Structure 1
Amino acid sequence: MRNKYTAKLLLSAGMLVFASNAFAQSNEQIQKIRSEYDLVKLETLQKNLKTKENLQKKEAMRIAQQKGWKTTIKKEDGTFMELQKVVNGQPIYYTTFNVDAARSTRTNHLHSGGSLGLNLMGQGMTANVWDGGGTRNTHQEFDGAGGNNRVTTIDGSTLNGNSFHAQHVTGTIVASGVVADAKGMAPHAQARTADWNNDKSEATTETGNGMIISNHSYGFAFRNQFGQVQLPQHYFGGYIEESRDWDEILFNAPNYLMVVAAGNDGNDNSANQNPTGGSGWDKLTGHSTSKNNLVVANAQDANIDANGNLVSVSINSSSSEGPTDDMRIKPDITGNGTGVYSTYDNSDTAYNSITGTSMASPNVTGSLLLLQQHYGNLNSGSLMRAATLKGLALHTADDAGASGPDAVFGWGLLNTKRAAEAITTNGNGSKIEELTLNSGQTYTITVDSDGTSPLLASISWTDRPGTANTTVNSTTPVLVNDLDIRVTKGGTTYFPYELTGPTTSAQQDNNVDPYERVDINGASGTYTITVTNKGTLVGGSQAFSLIVTGVTGTPAVCNATTPTGVGVTGVSQTGATVNWSAVAGTTYDVRYRQSGTSSWTVNAVSGTTTDLSGLTAGTQYDVQVRSKCPDGTNSGYSTTTTFTTAAPTPCESLPYAESFETNDGWTQVSGDDGDWVRDSGGTPSSGTGPSTGADGSFYMFLEASTNGSTGQIGSNATAILESGCFDLSGKSSATFAFKNHMNGTNIGSLTAQATTNDGATWTNIWTVSGSQGNQWNSVSVDLASYLGSTIKLRLVGTTGNGWSSDIAIDDIEVTAVTAGSDTQAPSTPSNVQASSITQTTATVSWNASTDNVGVTGYEVFQGSTSLGTVTGTSANLTGLTAGTSYTISVRAQDAAGNISNAGTVTFTTLSDNPTPTYCTSSGSRTTYEWIDNVELGGIANATGAGSGYSDFTSQVGNLAQGSTNTMIVSAGFSGSSYTEYWAVWIDFNQDGTFADSEKVVSGSSSSANNLSATVNVPSNAVLGQTRMRVSMKYNAAQTACENFGDGEVEDYTINITSSANSLFTTFNNTDADALGNEDAISFVAYPNPGKDVIQVKSTSRNVALTSYRIVNTIGQTVQSGALTNQRIDISKIGFGMYVLEVNDGQKSFKTKLVKR
């Protein structure tokens, strides 16, 4: 392979000139980078891009001359614009978009004198800059301790009206600090600059010369000089040709990272007429929507403590927001670009402050250059891949804004210090590995958490260029090779983040971003990290970088001992997950078999969990695990653990009917071209499709149109709808019937299929193609050949080659006749219970009965009088009498007329007494404490501070007579936590008062954690809905009808059900502390009486006293001040009686004080 690359190097020497005298990276570093590239391919790419750029520019200049357009524009606010090309008849312009900056991103901790002791100043490193003009290379900041003449112009560009911007950007990266406030991020590094014309072809050439990072603080202008929107709408958030071209460059030069300013259009909420995510979002265009670069947002100066920890940071409102149309996390990261002081172009000693993402981007670029320098220093000169550098920046960023990644800050504010620390501890506290995944391969490692830091695991890769498109708001992912990272421990799997909205994310499968991160807070023990891929990798493999922090690097001594803690989770019909406790330094063999057999199946596993598949439903299995050391020693197998797979899924009851009135009914099959869609009324396309359902209002349909309407899967595309199973054993005949509507000029086909082997193979049992007329057509298929088997059915719809091809289905039935006579009655309906009881109505429900051929209905009786028959498992009773006891029984019947025994329930309707009026109770202040969580019987109400009383009687908890339940409450505190007294009453006899005997919870605590208490419901509690009062009062016990000072009261509704109902009696929150009984908060002053100096001390560990005042008997303050060392000098006040009042910053506490 090395000889192959050498040959290509010789072939391309004429174009990709080896510029060892121009780059500060060492010759060895540059040669290594070049040896990893296909230089012939880069040369071809450079030529193609150069040709395209020249043609676009030439055509734009020609049209500009015809139409009188300006080719360069200097706006009143100083913004510079230059014509680049014409799209859809519209001119497209490029436009431009440090002590504080270094502190915000913690880059100063890497500098000489920084806290890390690394003395990284960019020595021997080079950054490239493309911008709107040439740079003044003679500026004093480009000389200095790092050497003189450190900035070189590579394209012959000269100073122009936008050179101030290029000068400022370059200085932010490499200014030496002649003026200390203007020192760049990498003050000893070199820079190679060019203007933005022909940027792509020039960048391609520079990659062949060893370029590792470049800054681009410009992009497409939204509006022309008259304020009119000039960009096509599909540019906003779209993956266009410009985006793809840069991804192709970056993919072919995997050691090169392009850093891009997000843009300064954060306050332009009207240029994009239909933004992804809603108004105020979707403002990234051009190279800002590429996958492989690093897009930078702009933050205000961050508040950073002396140790480099982020205290707070705000986004600058002008910073352009994402996301991309396919919901990738863009911007990627945030830098500091607000009021950045740096070099200016009007003299060799000129400086100025500018704000914008244009400044945030070089803040990040220079910082990342130092990280490459640090990595090279520790790795014999080898530098990180671009994906590693990007991944490291995102992995170690400080979360800002919304929790998790978002479309404002990206992954957060750059933390160069934390990234450098990860490099320093690589192999001992962190992992930074550059790997390759082959298609279909699984990469797995185990790591041990350090037990103190969050465990973070991420993968980053440079993806192949995607397919550019011109569709507005196309949600189709442009990711080509989709890698996946998962972290597991025991039966728990941790997923990476994915955007679900501009400011929301979820930890779930991510199929759009070429960077995925899994965060585990509170990690401890051993975890398995797994990297896989979806589908087939284009190119057969994908290079990727793995970064892990929060782990221990202590090497494990391998001692093959028998694993313990073997358990089985996730048991399904055909699979299960086996997990066990880790044995340090080992891998494992897991073997399993059907119980009672002698043949084992063995899986070799590197982690502490493995998935078993291909198991038989309803079958018991044995499983054992042993450990293996690299030296070939093995432990014995663990003792046998047994588990039983889930029973086969019950088949559908016969006769069976489905008319799609409530849901899709059947299963949408994955892997086809789309889904059938449930609809009512007419379909979106006129002249094709039904106007209503065949049985009821709803039906399922699909169509071939491509105008964005519901149900479209495109032309000549297939959608499959699959049934559950039908057991035809013991049947003498069976029929599958349905209706179809197939009317139009381009109708495709509809096929019915059956399987007897759970979908392994399917057989066509009916098919039709072409238009069948504008009506519902009845179809009946004889299933005689399947009698005695268990089958599944499916309907396969295929659209035609035009829009007039709607296909609809409805009114599905499967019927069968049982061979011989059936005398077996259904089982008795169980768990019969009454709920929703009022004066005149109630609902009775029960568990379904079972039968050998299927239950057809349930007859409901009041005493011996039949109230009617229902097919479901509940009945609504009406016309009842208030305050009356009823006994209701339910009997199941089957198709042969067999009737089960009766299941019964007795309940009493509510009386006609009017709804009780309850006394009032309220706190008057919730500034410092409030009720923030109540959980009981299905109520789960988390709230902030209210007004002192909150009416939550619309929230209903269900408790059964005679049940024991766990209640959870918790207090919210704005600052210090105080002792709060809790009391809960439930009006069990519904008489409108809260009796002492109805107080179900009491206690006190100063904890903000969830607190648990047991609630016992009397067996004679009146059925139906009643009132529950939850009261929390500061520092003293309360009554049910009390209005007090600090604290809060909340009222809820409790529904008392019959004792047969056990559904709501097992709630348990394992994270709650038991509610106890703490003493009230007070303080002591001693000696008292006192003479010169007294001490004060709070009786609560949660209260820190901060100030005091001494008040005489007529209310005058005679002395006050801060509490220092909890001591007060009283020597200057007169003898007598006083009131001493102390304060913790929120509340005051008082006691008598005698001065002697």
Structure 2
Amino acid sequence: MRRIPWYIFLFTQWLWAQTETNVEALRAFAQQKQQEWQQLRQAAEAFARANGIPIRQEFPDGTVIEIQKLVDGILYVYITHNANAAVTTRTDRLWPGGSLGLSLTGSGYTQLGEWDSGAVLTSHQELSGRVTQVDGATSLSDHATHVAGTMIASGVDARAKGMAYQANLRAFDWNNDESEMANEAASGLEISNHSYGFITGWHFDGLNYHWYGDVNIDQNESYYFGFYDATARDWDQIAYDAPYYLIVKSAGNDRDDTAPAAGTAHTHNGSGSYTDTHYDDGWDNGGFDVLRSAAVSKNVLTVGAVGDIKDYTDATSVQMSSFSGWGPTDDGRIKPDISANGIDLFSSIASSNTAYDTYSGTSMATPNVSGTLALLQQHYKNTHGGSAMRAATLKALVIHTADEAGDYPGPDYSFGWGLLNARKAALVISEDQYQNVIDEQVLNNGGTYSRTINATGNEPLKVTIVWTDPPGTPPAAALDPPDTMLVNDLDLRIVRNSTTYYPWKLDRNNPTAAATNNSENDIDNVEQVYIENPAAGSYTIIVDHDGTLTNGSQAFSIIISGIDEFTNPPQNCSPTLISPSNGATNVPLSTVIEWEEVPDATSYDLYFGTDGGGTSTPTNIVNGQTQTSNTYAPDLQPNTTYYIQIIPRNSQGTNSSCTTIWSFTTEGATEITAFPYTENFDNMSAIGTGNDWVNDTNDDGDWYVNSGSTPSTGTGPDQDHTTGTGNYVYVEASAGDVGYPHKTAVLLTPYFDFSTQNNPTMEFWYHMYGASMGNLYVDVYANGQWNTSVYQLEGQQSTSGTDWKVATINLADYKGGNVQRFRFRGVTGNSFQSDIAIDDVTIRGEAFHTFLAGSTEKYTFPNTGASVQFTVANSGDVTLETIKYDSDPGVVGTLPSGVMNISRERYWKITAISGTADGTYSLSLDLAGMSGINDYSTLYLLRRPDSSSPWTTVGTNNYSGSGTIVEWTGITGGFSEFAIGGGADNPLPVQLAAFQARSTTEGILLTWRTESEVMNQGFILYRKLENDTTWEIRADYLRHPALKGQGTTSRSTEYRFLDTDVQKGNTYQYQLADVDYEGKITRLKTVTITFTGEAIPETFVLKNAYPNPFNPEIHITFGLPEKRHVRLDIFDINGRKIRTLINDTRKAGWHTVTWNGKNDRGISVSSGTYIFRIQAQQDVASRKIVLLR
């Protein structure tokens, strides 16, 4: 009898496949695929036996490979994708005690599945009673057990706690997976995890190289990468027939697979021996186009792997792994879809019921996502009458709420749509009524979906649609065929008045380029329109389609956020103060206040202070109506009781019934304000016995004070850093102490206040010796926020028990607030040989660094423009401190021979604060902005021992020929003060020390000062309005005797001219020129000033920023009494630097700078409270500003 193909049968059931599970079609598909798999597997095993190829292999790193089928003479071989997850993806916020108050654990959730390389150890203490090995597989797999643990481990070992840690799991091995997936989908499975894929391109098995590709298609590259093949089609078909079943698939780890040396023998697809050449897998533009088969399916959720993230701040927080597979697909679709933590995940393995290990790979990132999705489905059912989301809805939700990652706004082919953010996704579910919309629709052939919404105007307007597209038709085998696999082409856009906003899309031919949004997307079944700064008001969302819809209609899911459709004020109050707990005592000053979020609130009235006694509302309201987050980072004082009242608010008002007042009392800590600060631990007998250094209690163990060697052999120091007989502190990795593997000990420093220091810097010495060395991280608390891993060391750094190393950390970016603190996090390695030690911690108010005895090192002192390359004598280490002064260094006596003048704009002081600086060194100085330089190559480096001594010339000018950095080499004789000198040709004949414009009540006063003049007849002042192109002579030495020059002189001379012919409000530019005896005119410098009719201030003045609150920009005005170096930074409320607006020298007078609400990467920041901090040399000020989108 002629068998009717399953796909013909399926298409008669199209209506069901849109909105209901097509059980009949899935069962037919399962039967067909089981027969196919059995036939192809038998052929593959026969081929393998004939060619001496193992059917299955397991490797020491946990990787497993197994032959699956033989198609057209080519083996298809599955491989597992190996290479703190809940914190990275914010899944912990959904757990009991999390900020959302949801208490989700996965308890009772039974619709979660796993296909993997073998059987899960169901009796493991983390999984016992909650895993069913459905297919009866008996070959235990570490990889499968690790993946299962990442999804559902109960947390017997807290480090291994899974995402949905009380959920149940249905497990299968990967053999015959498509048939089993279809049957499970027919029975109601909602989410399945697949951390494996076919070997593609290069594979090294520990002994031999293998290349998986088809040389008949392309010799250099495996055409399978990016190719929509039969497997991709089949997985799309399963998803299409099971609209409530979301398949979660690893992106693979092929990006860093490299080819062996030319001529190396290797197999083709596991057999034969060849010496031909093929590209590295990641050869394309640094690693693009390395996804295969199911990973390029349209309807699965493909997951990439990134590193661990403690505190997401912006896209730069997300660091790509070295291995994670990147898109595009051959037709240019956006893949992967999402990224999650896939590096160093600690989880259960199958060697015993208490065994654990740490694995990396997209195999690990994928269950991080799958387990989280189980919680999101559970939350949706809890809030939507027990109904589950369609797979397209869940996929749309994940994409819609992802955090930005990558170099540009929008999606890319590396991170996909960004980093999974479970907290945001859960909030959208909770707020699916007034602030957000989750909707499931069906678009009929020729139809249009339209919805009008009201944008808040103070946050982005974002709309995402996803649809489960019918399976595509694989193209003929070819390298990178561009055939579009999209079947039903829906189109999303947003319209306001005459403006149309289009979705993001990427260019397959330019994979590194930023996403664009200026036209329709006709290749993806995911579309998102993002309006970063919408004006408040009405917008219309439109979804229609191009062409004819296959099967007559297409179901789609839509997520909308950034809207305000409230009809009532918040109906609930925040029930819990999460951190610190209500009534807590001895609360650390480095505490961030956090309360449980209220779903229908858009902001909070936060009353916080020391008054009220707990019975009446504190008088101080923080940020008014703009406290949009549920966290607040105050500057806390020691031994103080604080009171908090939280009143939720939305556009309809506040919930006046929220009258609860919480309280807590801080610890009696003392801040250190005197610098330099040093700690060598010699006066401590144990941590906690002195000097306010303490061990954290929320970790795996403690740091210890020690002298001499540590108890373990082959690891740890033999003595302290300085005397050999003093103390140091360390982490003991042996069992019974901190232990291993990957155990953490956290050491907290005292509190500091270095906010008034110019250029604060920390230095400490570390010792990391041991064959299994772990990692050391330094975190900095500033402005109410822990900034994690501002410095990190990974793996063995020392070579012996006496090999101490030095680390230097610039702290200028962490001066926010009045409380700073440090946290040393030592993480042990894989064995006891991973002791970590530190010693001799120093904090100074200026940049400094220690150069090691007998070494040659180049170090750039931050924020000074100075770099020193120093060859240090063997007699001892040398510590140098460097300060840059933006002022006149002055001259005592006469300048050295050949030097005609000296720069009056800046100079440097480099001091050996310890050790004997008798070695040879080179000094590089960045002279950007220094006036009067014609030729960098003829500049002199001047040195003097102190300000009362004359200058001498040192070093040889070794200018590179480009840029503003000049290096002087071969310097001896120690360090002191340095300045820049010029000869007859450099700087200019008139050495101009200053040229300033000052607005007065009478006009614009122009003043300038020369330090020397050569054959100078006099000066010409040119003037024009700022936007004009033509200069006019406003005054010259022929008509104004006060502008006559001094001829040739080495004396300093001051000049002035008052321009009274000015109009208030006009902005003028003045240019100063000198005329030598030969009539040559040399233009020296230009200044710009707006005539205000006000006098230049006598002291530094900061005016109120305006408008405040603001959208889209704010103006900051300040006045300088004289020329100064100014730095103006924007910080968020947690003290993280957002933008540097000014970091240069400004003239005397009034200045206005504008901030457009974007960070240093040009990406708009969200609504909220920000702080700007301005430092004009000795004057420092800060103000709060409010951005309302």
When the two structures are superposed, what TM-score results if normalisation uses the length of structure 1? 0.48
| Higher RCO (CA 8 Å, separation ≥ 6 residues) | 2
When the two structures are superposed, what TM-score results if normalisation uses the length of structure 2? 0.47
